[in-house]
């Protein structure tokens, strides 16, 4: 079996502007970096269905987003720098569709695992709000999709983006069938992710100080994050794979390198093998320095390939 790399050209239709960090080239440089890897299979992402999206986002929110998409130009949704243009919603629906498709293929035994190379990201979007370059919350939609499948009763969501996944936390803070574990820089946008934010005991936040590097990242995950996921015994692991904790990234001040992303992916794959028959799907979140993003995403994907 292969590692699926799920993507779609529609993701290039979302264009918040030439000086915006969440630029069109993000997915392109990742796909180019993965060109030399063996053990992957590239698959086009379907559009998420209304049923899949509706497990997280209500009708009013979806209608509002649809009403905001302009025929021409760009308009802000939720925040001044969260811009949409004609084509943004289809791009976001490809991300949500990608993670649901990857989950289906892995559960069916047709793929070992998957990495969804899509944009815009999703982890700042909540049930009824959009922010932080995000429209639909793909990983949350994926978790609810997985829980609707036979044999999946517990899902762990792991988020190592430099920014806290506040939207994902909001969706699941009262749902003990999902564990959300996040490492992130603090202080930093969006200002959430404090250790005392625990939900129903299913939320675990691991803030890191500006300037923290691989040693602090690995120690925190080894001491707290990974044992908690192991104790949860998930039936499926989903990863919000944000690479903006890379030392080159302009939007954060953590100092991870590509080996750190490869390390956390291998550790998660080990837990997935122990409890979830290896079932793991990741989706691209942040990462705004193109060179750092390409290096880190390739290391992440190499670890997924090596897991099977």
Q: What is the rounded CA–CA span in Å between residue 42 and residue 251? A: 29
Q: Is 300 a catalytic residue?
A: no
Q: Phi, psi (5° rounding) for residue 140?
A: -70, -40
Residues 6+ apart with CB under 8 A from 147: 153, 155, 177, 178
Q: What is the rounded CA–CA span in Å between residue 228 and residue 237? A: 13
7, 14, 124, 184: the catalytic one is 124
- Least Cα distance to 176 among 158, 143, 199 occurs for 199
Positive or negative torsion for Cα 291, 22, 226, 214? positive
How many residues are listed for the chain in this entry? 308
Paired with 238 in beta bridges are: 157, 281
Residues 6+ apart with CB under 8 A from 288: 21, 22, 23, 26, 244, 249, 250, 251
Return the active site residues.
124
């Amino acid at each position: 079996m292969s590692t699926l790399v799920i993507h779609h050209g529609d993701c290039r239709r979302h264009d918040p502007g030439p000086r915006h960090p969440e630029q069109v080239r993000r997915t392109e440089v990742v796909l180019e970096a993965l060109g030399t890897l063996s053990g992957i299979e590239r698959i086009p992402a379907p559009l998420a269905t209304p049923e899949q999206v509706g497990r997280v986002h209500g009708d009013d929110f979806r209608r509002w987003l649809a009403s905001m998409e302009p025929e021409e130009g760009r308009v802000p949704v939720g925040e001044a720098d969260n811009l949409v243009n004609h084509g943004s919603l289809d791009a976001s629906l490809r991300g949500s569709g990608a993670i649901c498709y990857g989950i289906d293929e892995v559960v069916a035994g047709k793929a070992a695992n998957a990495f969804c190379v899509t944009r815009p990201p999703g982890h700042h979007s909540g049930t009824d709000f959009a922010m932080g370059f995000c429209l639909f919350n793909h990983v949350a939609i994926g978790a609810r999709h997985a829980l609707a499948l036979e044999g999946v009763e517990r899902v762990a969501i792991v988020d190592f983006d430099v920014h806290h996944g506040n939207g994902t936390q909001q969706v699941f803070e009262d749902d003990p069938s999902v564990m959300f574990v996040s490492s992130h820089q603090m202080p930093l946008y969006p200002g959430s992710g404090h250790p005392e934010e625990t939900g129903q005991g299913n939320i675990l936040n691991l803030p890191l100080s500006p300037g923290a590097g691989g040693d602090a990242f690995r120690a925190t995950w080894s001491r707290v994050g990974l044992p908690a996921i192991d104790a949860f015994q998930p039936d499926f692991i989903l990863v919000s794979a944000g690479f903006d904790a890379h030392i080159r990234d302009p939007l954060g001040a953590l100092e991870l390198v590509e080996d750190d992303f490869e390390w956390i992916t291998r550790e998660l794959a080990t837990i997935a093998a122990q409890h979830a028959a290896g079932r793991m799907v990741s989706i691209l979140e942040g990462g705004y320095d193109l060179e750092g993003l390409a290096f880190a995403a390739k290391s992440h994907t190499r670890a997924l390939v090596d897991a099977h």
